[in-house]
Amino acid sequence: MTAPVTIPEYQTLSVPIDHESAVAYASGLARERAADYQLSGGLIEQAAVVASELASNIYKHAAGGFLLLGPAAPGAGLHIWALDTGPGMADLQQCLVDGYSTTGTLGAGLGAVRRMATDAAIWSRPAQGTVISARLHAGRGGPATLPGIDAAAFCLAADLGRDLSGDDMVPGDAYAFAEPPAGATLLVVDGLGHGPDAAAAASAAVTAFGAQADQPLPGLLTYLHRALRGTRGAAATVLRIHPDRIDSCGVGNISGVILRAGRPGQQLVGQPGTLGVRIPAPQVRPYQLRAGDTLVLFSDGITSHWWREADGEVLYQPPGTLLGYLAGWHRCRHDDATAVALRPTRLRHAAD
């Protein structure tokens, strides 16, 4: 008998809503994951109801779509996304009013989601589709791991046409947050290839990162490199967040972009190399980050220049909504895909 696959705590699960039975399945899975992500009592049941309402909305109004269920990173809680490429909502505010329905039902779905979720946001365009981002966590003010920063993340395994019990459904990507004295630090890692060997490399990087996240970034990247010897190897970037900037240090094909209203996206620059195999002397590059900017770090499971192709308005949506758009419109389904979005909300910056 094959041993059950352990789902990493950072993994986001994708549930296709392609049949009426998927609504109950998504609800039950949300209940399980809410308990896994340290919710309790009424919040677990609220998570199940939110998933049910969102899945039902997709089934009734769109020609198919997905629910994504993952940790409300950083911190404890559950993040639920509903993604579809259906007709969209021409009048979003009307659709949020209790009692409004286009299918003859009670029309309480989206209103119930907004009431039960700790926070929720919606982006929708007629003839393009809809993204709904809903997070549930115990603190009404939001996750406390990164004070002053709105953050969201997903980590999706490659879609190889198998169910959730398949070994290949474990992602070869990973991400992790830490709050050492030196400042909040983020890791995004992509194990080479996909499947169990890539997952082992990514997991080794997360474990090593947790042990040494307070090191200066060059020393941290070197430590990760040594920890991954004997694995398949990986690409990785580590970021440290300061009051007026971010410092970035990475090797391989983890990409990053800073989005600022009125300006082209500023790309983060890494170095060639593979952790665990060979890397150059790590270099740290600083980037200014203002309140209201959005930094997105992503693996090659996301199309490389998505921000140049995207509808301009979606680029400035909240991090959770923006990542839902990436997962729905710019994910390469044959590869593992990870993205993390950070938006400072109350930082002071020096003038240009």
pLDDT-derived band at 262, boundaries 50, 70, 90: confident
Does residue 143 belong to any structural domain of this protein?
Answer: no
Point out which residues pair with 184 in neighbouring strands: 241
d(CA 309, CA 302): 13
Q: What is the DSSP letter of 85?
A: -
Residue 3 belongs to a domain: no
Residues 238 and 99 in one domain: no
Burial of 216 (0-12, 13-18, 19+ CB in 10 A): middle
pLDDT tens figures, 86-98: 877 655 555 554 5
Does one domain contain both 179 and 84? no
**Domain containing residue 175: CATH number:** 3.60.40.10
Count of domains for the chain: 2
Of 199, 156, 201, nearest to 335 by C-alpha is 156
Q: What are phi and psi of 94, to 5 degrees?
A: -65, -40
Same domain, 34 and 168: no
Least confident stretch, 124-128, 130-134, 277-281: 124-128
Claim to verify: residue 182 and residue 323 sit in the same structural domain? yes
Q: Whole-prediction pTM value?
A: 0.90
Q: Do 124 and 236 fall within a single domain?
A: no
Among 95-109, 135-149, 198-212, where is mean pLDDT lowest? 95-109
Residues 213 and 107 grouped into a single domain:
no
- Indicate if 93 and 174 belong to the same structural domain: no
Q: Report the amino acid identity of residue 254.
A: I
In a shared domain, residues 155 and 17? no
Q: Answer with the one of 136, 163, 178 that is the final residue of a domain.
A: 136
Q: Where are the beta strands (DSSP E) in 157-278?
A: 173-178, 184-191, 234-241, 245-251, 255-259, 266-267
Confidence tier at 141 by pLDDT (50, 70, 90)? very low
Q: What does pLDDT average to over the chain? A: 86
CATH number at residue 108: 3.30.565.10
| Residue that terminates a domain, selected from 111, 136, 161 | 136
What is the end-to-end Cα distance of the chain in Å, rounded?
A: 62
Closest to 259 in 3D by CA, of 300, 298, 299: 298
Judgement on whether residues 178 and 317 belong to the same structural domain of the protein: yes
What is the domain range of residue 22?
13-136
The confidence band for 138, taking pLDDT boundaries of 50, 70 and 90, is confident
Same domain? 183 vs 301? yes
Q: Is the pLDDT of residue 160 over 80?
A: no
Q: Is residue 6 one of the residues assigned to a domain?
A: no
351 in any annotated domain: no
Per-residue DSSP letter, 147: T
Same domain, 291 and 190: yes
Q: Greater confidence, 9 or 164?
A: 9
Q: What would the pLDDT profile of 33-56 be if each residue is shown by its tens digit?
A: 999 998 988 999 999 999 999 999
